[in-house]
Amino acid sequence: MDQSRRDRAIVGALPEVSLAAVVGRPDAKWGERPILIVEMRNQGALSDEELLAPLNGRVATWWLPDAVVRLERMPLTSTGKI
């Protein structure tokens, strides 16, 4: 399983999270860095730290997302994929 799928699976398993995605964002130093995009379930209120905490110790520190972006609705394709 690639790292972004593992991050997404770990965060997506939180009961407050409806959907999660990890994508690369351009970075001047590294070329690209991961960010976490989440759609919360029932207006779930978790801090960025609470969303990222399950990743600590389970993924390499350089793969931890640099930012969390919350969306009211995750954009989906006609087949339901993010």
* pTM of the full structure: 0.85
- pLDDT tens digit string along 2-43? 666 777 788 989 999 999 999 999 999 999 999 999 999 987
Residues 78 and 82: their CA atoms lie apart, in Å, by 10
Whether 72 and 38 have beta carbons less than 8 Å apart is answered as: no
Residues 52 and 36: their CA atoms lie apart, in Å, by 9
pLDDT at position 71, please?
94
